[in-house]
Every structure is written in C-alpha cells, then in structure tokens.
Structure 1
Amino acid sequence: MIVPPPPEPGGPLGKALRRREDRRLLMGQGRFLDDIPAPPGCLHAVFVRSPHPHARIGPIDTAAARAVPGVAAVLTGRDLGAIVAPLRMAPPIAGLLPMDMPVLPTDIARFVGDPVALVLAASRSAAEDAAELVQVAWDPLPAIASIAQAKQAAALVDPAVPGNRVSRQGFATPGLDAAFARADRVVEARFAQQRQTHVPLEPRGVLAIWDAGREHLTLRVGTQAPHPYRSAVASRLRLKEFQVTVESPEMGGGFGQKIIPLREDLCIAAASRLLNRPVRWRETRAENLMTAMMAREETIVTRAAVATDGRLLGLTCAMEVDFGAWSFFPANYMARVVAMILPGPYRLRDYGYDVQVWLTNKCPSGPMRAPMAVTSWVMEGTMDAVARELGLDPLAVRRINSIGDADLPFTTATGERYDALTPRATLDAAAAAIGYDALRAGQAQPRDRLLGIGLCTVVESTTYGSAFYRAAGIPGSGHEVATMRVEPSGAVIASCGLMGSGQGYETSLAQAAAAGLGAALDDLVIQIGHSDIAPYGMGSRGSRGAAAGGGALYMAGQRLKAKVLAIAAAMLDLNSAAGLDLRDGVVLRLVEGAWVETGLSLAQVARTAHLDPLRLPPGMEPGLHAVLAYDPPAMTYANSTHACAVEIDPATGALRVLRHVVAEDCGTRINPLIVAGQTHGATAMGLSGAMMEHAAYAEDGQAVAGSFMDYAIARADDLPAFELSHHDTPSPSTPAGIKGMAEGGTMGGIGALMNAVNDALARAGVHLDSGPATPARIWAALQAAKDTA
C-alpha cells in the first residue's frame, strides 16, 4: 500500500491552471490529421461497402473503376488478406466462443457498411467516382436484426457461433437463494439502453507511409493508445514493432472508438506497403455513424429481494447484449464489467448474475465512454422500483442501504474492494443542493406539467490494474510506464504511454510530474502520442489516465528527486540528503523547523550531473533520468451522486431539464478546472444519450441513422448549467491519492435523467423502461396510458 504524503502547500497539485494546449487550439494552430499535408505521390482511399445487412459476396468487377483517370488500384479482401493476418478473438474465458475476422470479408458481408473493397486514387474525388463503379454480385441472405431474432437462429451471423450466442457467464453467492427465501417482497425491474455510437467531433482517419528502403511503416493516426495500436498493426502485418511508428497528432475526441486499429486502418497500412506509396483516408460522417463502432444496446432485468423497510437482501441480474456482427474486443468484456460492479454503493452481500451476448447483423460493438454506463441506472432504477413497490421515499430507500464510513473497507459480493468511498456523503450533498424536500412538496401542488426528480449514485471503476483483468478473465495489462529526464539547463522532459483526445493531459500530467519531482511547472513538458518517443504504455481508456499515467509520472518524479537531492547534498558538503527538499525547482533545507533556500537550483544540479560527473557522489552514474513502471491497484473507485429535476409537457411529451446537480469524490484533483470540464462533458454525453441518441436499425437490418438528421445529439440549449460540488477523499492506495473520474458523469447523467423522467411519468401511471426519452416516446406512452384508462 502506498501512503502518499500530503501535497506541499503551493505545489502544482490541486491548482486550477488553464490548459496549456488551449492556446494553440483556440488560435487555430492545432495540428489535426487533416492539417498534415499530403506527401508527394499520396493516394486517397475510399471504401466500397455493403448495402445489405447480410449477403454473400460474389465476383467483384473493378474494371470500370480502374479505368477512371487517377485511379491507382482497387483492392479486395483477397488482395489485402495476402499481407494482413486475420484477427482471432479467442481469449481462454469459460463460456466465450472464438471468432475470426479477416481484414476485409471475402465471402459474406455481415452488416450495412461492411467494407468489401478499397479504391485508391490520386484525388479523393476520383476515388469516390471510381468506388461508385465497383460492381459486386450480391446475394442477400436473411438478416438478424435483434436479440429475439438471434435466439430463433433462423440464420447464423457467424457460422462458427451456433445459435448466435457468443458468450455466457454466470455467478451467484452461496447465500443468494436464502436471501430471496426470507424476503418480504421481490421487486422486478427492466432496463434497456438503445444502440448508440461515439460521435467524435473528428471522425477517424489515417495517413500511412511505407518506406521500402528501410522497410518501415509510419502511421499518423488519432489513437488513444499508441503502443497497443502499434503492436496490433505490427502483428497483423507480420512486422516487428521497430518497423512501425505511430504518431498521433491532435485528436478531436475518441470516447473509445480510437483505441485499436479497426479494419480500415489496417487496409490503409497494407495498401501503402503493397503500392509503396503514401495513402490517406478520412472517414465521412455517415461512415462514422454507421460503420465505426457502436455500443450500449443491452437489456437487463433485476429481481430485488427486500424487507418491508426497503433493505436490500439479495439481487439478481439477467443481462442480454447485442454485440453486432464482428468481434474487435472479447464479446464478454463490457457486459462482464457491468455485471461485476452492478451492486454499486449498496451493502449487498448476496448477488447473482447471468450475462448473455448475442451476435446480430449490425455494426460491431466496442467500448464507449463509460462502457459500464448502464450500471448506475440499473441499480438506481431498481432502488426507485423498490420505493414505488413499498410506498417509500426513494431517498430514504437509498439511505438505508448505502455504504457508510463505518462499512469501509467494504468487499462487494463479486470481490471488489472499496476503501476511500463516500456514497452516503455525496447522496446527502446532492439531495440538499437540488432542494429535494422542496421539489417533493412541489410535486403535490396542482401543475400543468409533470415534475420529476431523479437521483443516481455512481461508483466509477477507474484504474483497471492488471489484477482486475485477471480476476475478470480478460487478457490485458493495466500498468503504465513513465520516463523523466532533466537536461543540463534544468529543462524537464516527461512522458508516458497515454494520448489525449481533449482531456488536457499536457497540463494535468505536467502537474503530477512536477509535483513528484519538485520542478517548476514552466520548466517541464509532457511528450505523448509518439510510439518512438514515449515509453510503452496501455494508453488512454476508462478513467485510468490520472491514476495510472499521472501516478506513474508522480512516482518517476519522486525517484528522480531522490537523486537530485543526493547530488545537492554532495554539492553542499552534507553527509546526506536528509532535511533537503526540492520545490518549484529550488533546493531547500530544513533549518530549525523552517525551510530555507540553499542557493542551489535544479538547473545547477542538472548541470553538474551531466557536465561535471566527477563532482557526483562516489559510484553514482552521470545524468538525470528515470524510468518507472507502475501497475496500479486492481481497481480504484471514485463516486458521485447526480440529482436531476425535469418537467414534462403531457400534451406534447416535451422534456426540459430544470437543474442537474453533481456531488463527486474523485480523490486528489490534479487540476480542479480540468476535473470540472471532464464532469461537464461526461454528464452532457450521458444526458444526450438518454434523451435522444439512437443508432437505429429497421426490422430487416437496414441502418436508418446515417446522418445528424437521423442521429440526434444534444445541443447547448438542450442542457442545463451543471452545478458541481466536491467531497474528496484521497485514495490510500495510489500515488498522491489520485482516483480518476472521467466517465462517472456519463453514468450519472443517464441514470439521473431516466429516473427523473420516470418519477414525473409515475404521476400519470406511466413508466419508460428503455431509452431514449424522446418527446415522441414520452407522448406515446402517455397516450397509451390514457387509452388504457
């Protein structure tokens, strides 16, 4: 266990500094992928995609396309498959069936937008024109457009997956049956999230440059995880990792869509190698909406065994997930995490789950900001269901079940350990801030609109250390590596394996590194996003950036600081470094209880270390550099409570969010300004998804949300001004007490909004058990209730 010292007064941790990167971005001087000039001889790529949800691929006639002026090549799956190995997803997990995926399908297309050919031309317009001339002999097959259809097995999405069920896992504590046997009531609740997609401001894209002389591939691509991305590309193209360089420029959002190389990326890399020319591809918005990756489509039914006072005695969860057509990630990955952490902030000893994952003829699924997002709505919606069933107040039911300070450390029914967690404190703070009692009183007054109050307490998993992956039966590592060196001038260069997509890493990671070393923040720079410069790390995903990346940099700084002080002691003719410290780049000495300057600076120590090594302590190597690998705890948890007040016009179904309050505990906040920004953004994403986003498919498997005319996202005037408060308790098991918090806003936003909508609709005898809560769906539900009455 790491017991962190308190941050020094006036140090960089906890300062609300403006983001370093904002100056260039606000002045239009950022360097995104489209800002990189096309190299001489560069080809532009356009994909030919399936118009069918399920079809055999017959002969592909490319003659007319190849005749278009400027076209250099038209490549199919057979051409590209010669140098790109297929992806086999077969981790040794009980209940998970293996799946194989070629770089491009050659026999059967499995969803609308499945890429089957690649056109390469001297200009984008020529490639687009030629792509329209590629003739594919399609033989349509029956499509599986829902889990219900998948269960009937009228057709198989993947011939290697009998019955279309690709994964099933279950778990139950020994006392679960007994808990239900002694319950006064069993309350059942159903929840369903609609299919959504990531909608980054900047769609995907890649520029590939093959150097035949050096046999080296350079990829300029926005990726959240440069090193795992590079490893995957090298493996699939049968290259060694030193033959691949990944450079990630500015990235306009990722949200999980830009972690791994998807098929288009591999095709572009292979095409550059085959043709020995640079190749670039820029995804269109329609491609991004329909073919990049999707998430969230799942149905969960809970059964809660409760006492008459609302105490939760036992809980079961039956979860079914629509995974789509191909496997980019283990099919059980997101669903298993949801099931494991579902009990959230409550004292629940007996629990069981059954998780089933199904294949359909839809765009494949992958992680999306808060891949476990449904967790909080399910648990908090279950608490509301218990309150309704028993005639109790929802806040009172939460309070009687909430984990309190006296319960810590607490081990959940699935074996997860909570230490510094404050769900009761954030619940009370959020309820007080939104004026819970006054709102309840207001509901009893005559009104022409329905008023609803939603509460959602979030327990957000953050660090995802290696031990978590092993316990979950998921292959992978959660460690992070940091490097730090001090140049002779005192300039500090630090790096780790993360890559930012809007999180402000260049600022917050610099604050963590400077705090560990004791350097002046203006003398330190963070270098990330380049696989040849940064050390190998696991990248940016989940909420691990602050705790894993920031933690590694903080500890690397501490390691280097010890050497700096040892050199300083020698320079000051002291026997040891005891009583010395480095703060803001200045060496201090403790004299009679007070810190006084010694006249030495980090720059002077660095100059000695590099340029006058004979003055160093005996046996010490010259220079100032550190490399540190840090594997964080299996899991660290942050928590928050969202409180949302909404009103609904029963005549139209129109929904308005009146207020949205967030009380959160994310441990040590490296930069409060960035934390607030992350909370605002994540909450907005959650509300947007709950209110309006839907990557819809027709019953025949056709995708029907191919533009922003069909896929709605929240605008600024759809959202309230978020009200934040903090109740931070540092983690006792991470460097500097950092927990992380980038996804909790999404989880809480979804749960609080849906609970508020259902609280309002309950006044009319209506309940929405699935999203999105659009005016049309709300109005239809109200009308159906009227007709029934």
Structure 2
Amino acid sequence: MSAPWSGGAGPRSSGGIGATVLRREDDRFLRGKGRYLADIDVPRALHAVFLRSPHAHADIQAIDAGPALAMAGVVAVWTGADVARHATTLRMAPPIEGLKPVDVPPFPVDKVRFVGDLVAVVVAERPDIARDAAEQVAVTYGQRPAAPGMAEAGEPVDPGLPTNLVSHQTFASGDLRAAFAKADRIVESRFAQGRQTHMPLEPRSIVADWDEGRRHLTVRTGNQAPHPLRSALAARLGLAESAVTVISPDMGGGFGQKIALLREELTVAALARALGRPVRWQEERGENLIASLHAREEALVTRAAVTRDGHILGLEAVMEADVGAYCFFPANYMARVVALILPGPYRIPAYAYDVKVYLSNKCPSGPMRAPMASASWVMEGTIDRIAAELGLDPVTVRRKNTVRDADLPFTTITGETYVDVTPAQTLDAAVKALGYADRRAEQARAGRAGRLLGIGICTVVEPTTYGSAFYKNAGIAGSGHEIATVRIEPSGAILVSCGIMGSGQGYETTLAQCAAEGLGARFEDIAVRIGNTDEAPYGMGSRGARGAAAGGGVVLIAARRMRVKLLKLAAHLLGLNSPESLAIADGKVLRLVDGAWTATDHSIASLARIAHLDPLRLPEGMEPGLHLTAAHDPPAMTYANATHACLVEIDPASGVTKVLRYLVAHDCGVEINPAIVAGQVHGAVAMGLSGASMERCAYDRDGQALAGSLMDYAVARATDIPPIEIIAVNRPNRLTPGGMKGMSEGGVMGASGALANAINDALGRIGGTVTQQPFTPEAVWRAIHQVKPAPRLADADNEGR
C-alpha cells in the first residue's frame, strides 16, 4: 500500500501536484488545431452509411439491395447475414444470481428490436453516394407488438428469453421487520427518471484500415478505453490482439457512450478487412440521439421507518429499470450500483432492496456520466420527505443520521467501506455558505408576498474508482488496475503513458503534474502519450472518476520509482554512500548541506545522458537506460463526497424554475490541479441540472422515438446554467498513492438531487410535488395547478421546515 502524498518537507517541483497550471491541451483546442477523427484524412477510404429500422419491433422479411448496388460508386451492401460471417456474437453472461444470459448478435439478421436498429450497411466511394444508395435499399418488414418497458408482460424482446425481465436481485441486512414495527412513522417516497442520452459534442466515428501484407488492423476511433476496445475487436473478429492497433485521437466528449464496442464500429472493422480498403463512418446527430446508448430510465419507491425526532431505523427500496433492446453491459450493472450505494452518507441499521431490470423495444442503455446519479436524489429526497412529514427541518434530519468522523472507517449496511470521507463537514460548509437560516427567513417573507422559493440540499457519497476486488465481488469479469510507463530519453525529455484516455478531462496536464511531482521534474519537460494501444501499456481506460486515483496514482508511483533510480545514480556520481541527503526539484539534483538545499552539478538531463550513453559510469548492478513500468490496483472502491445547495424561484404562472444560487462544498482528496477540478465540478453540475430539468428521450406507446433531433431533445445552454460556487473541504485518502479520490461524477449526482429537492421544497409550501424527472416548466406548472384547492402561499408558510 502506498502512502498518500502530503506535500513533503523537502523541495518540490513548481508544476507538480496542487499547482494551478494551464491545461496544455487548450492551446491547440482554442486555436482550432485539435485533431479529431474528422480532421484525419485516410487515403482511399470508403464511406459507410447504415440503414436503420423505422419500426420498434419487426421481422426482417426481405431486403432488396439490387438498386443500390447498381449505383455508380457503390462498393458493397451488407446485411446481418454478411456481417455474421466476419464477426462473432457477444455473449453477456456474468455469473450473477438473478441475471439472465443474453446474446447480442453483431448485426440483426431476422428481427429489429428498436427504432434505429441496424438493417443494412452501404459502402461507397463518397458519403453522399452511400446516403443516396441507402435510400434505395428496399426492406419488407413484418411488424410485431412493441414492449413498452419495465414490464414482464408482452412479447419477449430477446427471442432467447421467456419474458422481458432480464435481471432480478434482492438484498436484505439488519432487522428490517423490527425497525418497521418500532417506527413512529413509515414514510413512503416515489421517484422516476426519464431516459437521457449522453449528447457528446462529437458523435461516434471510426476509420478502420486493414493492412493485408502485415495482416494488421488499425482502428482510429474516439474511445474512452482503447485497450479493452482492442481486446473486444480482436476477439470478435478472430484476430490476435497483436494484430490490432486502436488509436484514439482528440475526442469531443464521451460521458460513457464511447466505452463499449458497439455494432457499428465492429461492422466497419469487418468491412475494412473484407474489402481490403480503409472504411470510415461518421455518425450523424439524429443517429446519435436515437441509436447510440441511452441511460437513466428508472423508477424507485422507498419506505423509511423513522422515529418522531427523525432518526432512520430502516429503509427499503424497490427499483425498476429499463435497459432497452440489447445488453452491451450486464443488465443489472447500473441498477445494482444505485441500490448498493443508496444509503449514501447515512447510518442506516437495516436495509433491503429489490431491483428488477427489463428489456424493451427502445435504444439500448449503458453507463452515462454518474450512472448511479439517482441514488443521491432518491436518498436525499427521502430525507426531505421524512422532514416534511415529521414537521422537522431537512438539515436537522440530515445531521441526526450523517456519518461522522467518529464512525470512520464506516462500513455501510451493504458492506461498502468509507475511509476519510467528510459528509458532515461538507454539509456544515454548504449550510454556512448558503446562509441557511437567513434563506429560510427569506423564503417565508417571499411566501407572504406570493412568491415560490425553494431550498434544496443534496449530500453525495460518490464511488469514483472501482478496483479489481469490486468486480470480483460483483461477479463481473474485469479489472480495475492501471499501468503506467515513465521513460526518460538521453536529452532528459520525459515521456509518460498509461491506459486512460481523455475526452476533455485534461489528462495531458494532470498526468504530467503527477509525473513532475514523483520525479522532481519540470512540468514542461514531460510529454504525455495516451490513446494509442501500441504506445501505452494495457489499461482499463477512462470511466467513472478513475482518472485521478487510478491514472494519476499509477503515474505517481512509476515516477517515484524512477526518482529512486536517479537519486541512486546521483549519489554514486557524487561519491555518497546513500541518496538520503539528495532531492530532485524542477529537474535539478539538490543536496542538503548545513540544513539548506543546495544545487549540485547534476540534473535529470545529465543523469539521463549517463544512464543511456555512458553506462560504465553506473553503479554496480544498475541497468542502463531509464524506462520504468509500474502497475497499481486501487482499493475495491474509493469514495469522494460533497454537499450541493440550491436556491430556486418558481414562476407559478408558467412553471419556469430559476436557480438563484448554486454552491458545492466538496471533498475530492488531494487536488492535482485546482483549476481542472473546478472545471470538472462546473461541467458535472451543468450536466446534472440539464438532465434534471429538460432532457428526455421520449417514446410513444408504439415504441416510436420522439426525440430524433435537437428540436425535440432539449439540452441546457451556457445561459441556462447559474454561477457555481465551490468550497473545498478536502481530506486526503490514506489508501490511494497521492491521496486523490476523484470527483468528476458527483456533480451530476448532487445537481439532480439538489434541484429536485429545491423544486419540491417550493411546491411543498402549496401542497404540490413532482416525482418524475425531467422537471420541465410544464411538469412544474401541472404540479402547481393540480393542487385543489390551491392554498395561498401566505397560508402555506411553515418556517420550521
């Protein structure tokens, strides 16, 4: 176990951990010099266009590609049968009780399962030719009834299953029966989320190039996990992993949509190999909205057993989730994590959950930034409901039940261990910064004046970095480890690489800072190479918030080990028996003389020249060169935490909700770069507010997608997001190499819950409530006008809340 970074007493590099240095990526991005996939020209490339189903559920009875093949410039038209000859089926069957195995064919052959499902692919010399030819492919369908979702009944979506219930898990711990028998009140709360989609600025795209002479496939695609993608491609195409290279260029967002190998990318790779020419595909926005991964469609009911003074004695949760037509991840994966972490920052002595997951004739679902986002909203909404029914203040109820320092390390009722978390401190910091008592008084005055103000609090405990032990305990094949290499060239130039891949997080900056900290090097002397499976060591990629604790942590470990070698060499050259009196900072070797650090004649550059070009000067037993690889497997789970506070005003005439103030008190452990941390908080909060207030992938009863363009799928603009105040309440994590915890998903979790609680706090003053996200103006307006008779705000004042 590595000790956490503490700053140390010796000299440190100026651009290391904790420094607010400018993101080095931004120079090229802001000048329009980034290289996204569309910017990369591949000679002789063919262009693929997919023909998609207009039906939610139908048999493919016939496909006539003759007219399309007759068009000039058309090279090929493939159907599912053609793809099946070149790629294998995905078998999703982890050994989890209650989870049914499912097969995902590489391409539909006999049946389509959702609007936007694949029917055929046209390959042509130009994209416009391919698009025109796709319109000439004639398909005869036999329509079937569509399964609407979250119901066992109806025709099975997957022909290999008897019903649409694909997963059912239960859990119970503690004496729940006694808790409910002893309770002064049983409080029931309901929550539901509509479907959302990831909406990356850059939709998916790929260029696949088969080199027949070398028998080698090179794939360029924006992907968050290049090495696992390479493994999946090689396995499903029948190739050795050494015969596949995955290169991820600059990527315009991912948010979880660009992790798994999806069928379009698999098909394009198979086409390139079969046709002997590069093939490229660029997803259009409409395709991305209806046929890339969706997320978040869930419904939950909680029942809390509480005492009259607000202590929670027991909690049970019933959850249903809709994962769409196919399972590219284990069907229960996201839902189980929601149920697992639902207790959040609270001491709950008895807990049970019942989680059901259904297939439906909708776009498949997958992880989206904070796939467990509903957990915080549900738990915090339950707390607010408890407070309302007992006539207590919501902050008081939180304080009565919150995990405190004296409880640490704390094992939750589901067996998760919290180490070095600070939920009580972030709650106090947020309440103080908001001026909570004054806001309550302001709310009461506003009510007397006919205005609807609401205060929302949401405390988040965010799982950030999943170690291998988590996957093993969950019965899921996979690893949470990460590997890094640090290489110093003869000139002193430093190359750092690991398996994570950036999609806007600033990894080229933060990984360089971790290397600078560990080595004692200058930040500007370090180059970071990620996203190329031939250059980077095998790693698990970017998902969750593992970039800091796993990626930055393993780079720090590797850099520290390299510094040990450098100092040993420096001590030998200086005639010292040990390097104990030596240090490296900003690339210079320093020596402690009479209590002061004094520069020597050596530097990382001079030591590198000797290590590479004059190995006879090395100490006995030291290998020439400076190339080091380190691996790190994090603890089963690392947790960060935060408290979000939100003040809103609702216009009763229109239902429009305006956020008057928003603040976040957060603890992400050691901050590698405070400016990047702030950017991640801002981005995550914006995503959470957008999803909770306006985003919805709507479907009608027949399974038709109703949000196929940005005219129908609303996403927050910059002007829709309020200023966000950030209060750092950081405590290092003793179990991670640098004390980092991560934090890039907690903002989504907190924003969703804080906004929901603020809206319901305002509506509660007139007897209204909303339980279904998104909380659009229409939904809020209906909640106001469904109150009968609608009480006057002055009569609804309850300053004790």
Q: If the length of structure 1 is used for normalisation, what is the TM-score? A: 0.98
Q: Which residue in the other structure is 2:657 paired with?
A: 655
Q: Which residue in the other structure is 2:54 paired with?
A: 51
Q: Is 1:117 matched with 2:109? A: no
Aligned residue identity for 2:225: A
> 767, 782, 785: which is aligned to 1:783?
785
Q: Which residue in the other structure is 1:540 paired with?
A: 542
Q: Is the Cα contact below 8 Å between 2:149 and 2:324 reproduced in 1?
A: no
| Matches for 1:546-695 after TM superposition, within 5 Å | 546-695=548-697
Q: Residue 471 of structure 1: CA displacement?
A: 1.7
Could you report, residue by residue, the CA deviation over 1:243-268 in whole angstroms, capped at 9, with x for unpaired residues?
A: 11111110000000001211000010
Aligned residue identity for 2:33: Q
Q: Residue 5 of structure 1: CA displacement?
A: 4.3
Q: Is the Cα contact below 8 Å between 1:545 and 1:740 reproduced in 2?
A: yes
Q: Which residue in the other structure is 1:425 paired with?
A: 425
Aligned residue identity for 1:455: I
Could you report, residue by residue, the CA deviation over 1:733-766 in whole angstroms, capped at 9, with x for unpaired residues?
A: 0011011010000000100001101001111211
Instruction: Give me the whole-angstrom Cα distance separating, in 2, the residues matched to 1:206 and 1:7.
Output: 43
**Residue 764 of structure 1 aligns to a residue in which SS?**
coil
Q: Is the Cα contact below 8 Å between 1:43 and 1:123 reproduced in 2?
A: yes
Q: Residue 163 of structure 1: CA displacement?
A: 2.0
Q: Which residue in the other structure is 2:796 paired with?
A: none
| Matches for 1:410-421 after TM superposition, within 5 Å | 410-421=410-421
Q: Which deviates more from structure 2 when the two are superposed, residues 86-95 or residues 469-478?
A: 469-478
Aligned residue identity for 2:676: I
Q: Which residue in the other structure is 2:298 paired with?
A: 298
Instruction: Give me the whole-angstrom Cα distance separating, in 2, the residues matched to 1:373 and 1:154.
Output: 29
Q: Is the Cα contact below 8 Å between 1:223 and 1:248 reproduced in 2?
A: yes
Q: Residue 357 of structure 1: CA displacement?
A: 0.4
Aligned residue identity for 1:32: Y
Q: Is 1:18 matched with 2:13? A: no
Q: Which deviates more from structure 2 when the two are superposed, residues 200-209 or residues 31-40?
A: 31-40
Q: Residue 596 of structure 1: CA displacement?
A: 1.7
Q: Residue 786 of structure 1: CA displacement?
A: 3.7
Instruction: Give me the whole-angstrom Cα distance separating, in 1, the residues matched to 2:216 and 2:740.
Output: 39
Q: Residue 406 of structure 1: CA displacement?
A: 1.1
Q: Residue 38 of structure 1: CA displacement?
A: 3.4
Q: Which residue in the other structure is 2:191 paired with?
A: 191
| Matches for 1:340-489 after TM superposition, within 5 Å | 340-445=340-445, 446-489=448-491
Q: Residue 317 of structure 1: CA displacement?
A: 1.0
| Matches for 1:10-89 after TM superposition, within 5 Å | 11=13, 12-40=16-44, 42-89=45-92
Q: Which residue in the other structure is 2:232 paired with?
A: 232
**Residue 466 of structure 2 aligns to a residue in which SS?**
coil
**Residue 97 of structure 1 aligns to a residue in which SS?**
coil
Q: Is the Cα contact below 8 Å between 1:293 and 1:366 reproduced in 2?
A: yes
Could you report, residue by residue, the CA deviation over 1:348-375 in whole angstroms, capped at 9, with x for unpaired residues?
A: 1211111110010000010000010101
Q: Which residue in the other structure is 2:794 paired with?
A: none
Q: Which residue in the other structure is 1:745 paired with?
A: 747
Instruction: Give me the whole-angstrom Cα distance separating, in 1, the residues matched to 2:789 and 2:309.
Output: 35
| Matches for 1:271-310 after TM superposition, within 5 Å | 271-310=271-310
**Residue 462 of structure 1 aligns to a residue in which SS?**
strand
Q: Is the Cα contact below 8 Å between 1:336 and 1:472 reproduced in 2?
A: no
**Residue 163 of structure 2 aligns to a residue in which SS?**
helix
Q: Residue 570 of structure 1: CA displacement?
A: 0.7
**Residue 542 of structure 2 aligns to a residue in which SS?**
coil
Instruction: Give me the whole-angstrom Cα distance separating, in 1, the residues matched to 2:537 and 2:42.
Output: 28
Q: Residue 783 of structure 1: CA displacement?
A: 1.7
Q: Residue 598 of structure 1: CA displacement?
A: 1.9
Q: Residue 4 of structure 1: CA displacement?
A: 2.2
**Residue 568 of structure 1 aligns to a residue in which SS?**
helix
Q: Is the Cα contact below 8 Å between 2:96 and 2:474 reproduced in 1?
A: no
Q: Is the Cα contact below 8 Å between 1:7 and 1:736 reproduced in 2?
A: no
Instruction: Give me the whole-angstrom Cα distance separating, in 1, the residues matched to 2:419 and 2:180.
Output: 28
**Residue 787 of structure 2 aligns to a residue in which SS?**
helix
Aligned residue identity for 1:86: T
Instruction: Give me the whole-angstrom Cα distance separating, in 1, the residues matched to 2:490 and 2:2.
Output: 32
Instruction: Give me the whole-angstrom Cα distance separating, in 1, the residues matched to 2:251 and 2:441.
Output: 47
Instruction: Give me the whole-angstrom Cα distance separating, in 2, the residues matched to 1:263 and 1:568.
Output: 54
Instruction: Give me the whole-angstrom Cα distance separating, in 2, the residues matched to 1:713 and 1:287.
Output: 17
Q: Which residue in the other structure is 1:105 paired with?
A: 108
Could you report, residue by residue, the CA deviation over 1:535-565 in whole angstroms, capped at 9, with x for unpaired residues?
A: 0000000000110000000000011111111
Q: Is 1:311 matched with 2:315? A: no
Q: Which residue in the other structure is 1:761 paired with?
A: 763
Instruction: Give me the whole-angstrom Cα distance separating, in 2, the residues matched to 1:716 and 1:433.
Output: 24
Q: Residue 674 of structure 1: CA displacement?
A: 0.2
Q: Is the Cα contact below 8 Å between 2:409 and 2:419 reproduced in 1?
A: yes
Q: Which residue in the other structure is 1:92 paired with?
A: 95
Could you report, residue by residue, the CA deviation over 1:607-628 in whole angstroms, capped at 9, with x for unpaired residues?
A: 1111111111111110111100
Instruction: Give me the whole-angstrom Cα distance separating, in 1, the residues matched to 2:759 and 2:203.
Output: 32
CA RMSD of aligned residues (A): 1.1
Q: Residue 178 of structure 1: CA displacement?
A: 1.9
Instruction: Give me the whole-angstrom Cα distance separating, in 2, the residues matched to 1:787 and 1:144.
Output: 38
Q: Which residue in the other structure is 2:3 paired with?
A: 3
Going from structure 1 to structure 2, the CA distance change for 1:5 and 1:696 (only over 3 Å counts) comes to closer
Q: If the length of structure 2 is used for normalisation, what is the TM-score? A: 0.97
Aligned residue identity for 1:779: W
Q: Residue 176 of structure 1: CA displacement?
A: 2.2
User: Number of residue pairs matched?
Assistant: 785
**Residue 281 of structure 1 aligns to a residue in which SS?**
strand
Q: Residue 10 of structure 1: CA displacement?
A: 5.0
Instruction: Give me the whole-angstrom Cα distance separating, in 1, the residues matched to 2:41 and 2:297.
Output: 39
**Residue 772 of structure 2 aligns to a residue in which SS?**
coil
Aligned residue identity for 2:24: R
Q: Which deviates more from structure 2 when the two are superposed, residues 596-605 or residues 364-373?
A: 596-605
Instruction: Name structure 1 gaps, 5 residues minimum.
Output: none
**Residue 77 of structure 2 aligns to a residue in which SS?**
strand
Could you report, residue by residue, the CA deviation over 1:480-513 in whole angstroms, capped at 9, with x for unpaired residues?
A: 0000011111111010001100000000111011
| Matches for 1:201-240 after TM superposition, within 5 Å | 201-240=201-240
Instruction: Give me the whole-angstrom Cα distance separating, in 2, the residues matched to 1:539 and 1:5.
Output: 23
Instruction: Give me the whole-angstrom Cα distance separating, in 2, the residues matched to 1:32 and 1:526.
Output: 18
Instruction: Give me the whole-angstrom Cα distance separating, in 1, the residues matched to 2:346 and 2:202.
Output: 39
Q: Which residue in the other structure is 1:702 paired with?
A: 704
Q: Residue 448 of structure 1: CA displacement?
A: 3.3
Q: Which residue in the other structure is 1:179 paired with?
A: 179
Q: Is the Cα contact below 8 Å between 1:333 and 1:474 reproduced in 2?
A: no
Identity rate of aligned residues, in percent?
Answer: 61
Q: Is the Cα contact below 8 Å between 2:12 and 2:586 reproduced in 1?
A: no
Q: Residue 788 of structure 1: CA displacement?
A: 8.2
Aligned residue identity for 2:525: D
Instruction: Give me the whole-angstrom Cα distance separating, in 2, the residues matched to 1:135 and 1:594.
Output: 81
Instruction: Give me the whole-angstrom Cα distance separating, in 2, the residues matched to 1:130 and 1:269.
Output: 21
Q: Is the Cα contact below 8 Å between 2:257 and 2:292 reproduced in 1?
A: yes
Q: Is the Cα contact below 8 Å between 2:12 and 2:520 reproduced in 1?
A: no
Instruction: Give me the whole-angstrom Cα distance separating, in 2, the residues matched to 1:723 and 1:208.
Output: 44
Q: Is the Cα contact below 8 Å between 1:653 and 1:779 reproduced in 2?
A: yes
Instruction: Give me the whole-angstrom Cα distance separating, in 1, the residues matched to 2:239 and 2:704.
Output: 38
Q: Is the Cα contact below 8 Å between 1:448 and 1:649 reproduced in 2?
A: no
Instruction: Give me the whole-angstrom Cα distance separating, in 2, the residues matched to 1:598 and 1:788.
Output: 80
> 139, 142, 154: which is aligned to 1:139?
142
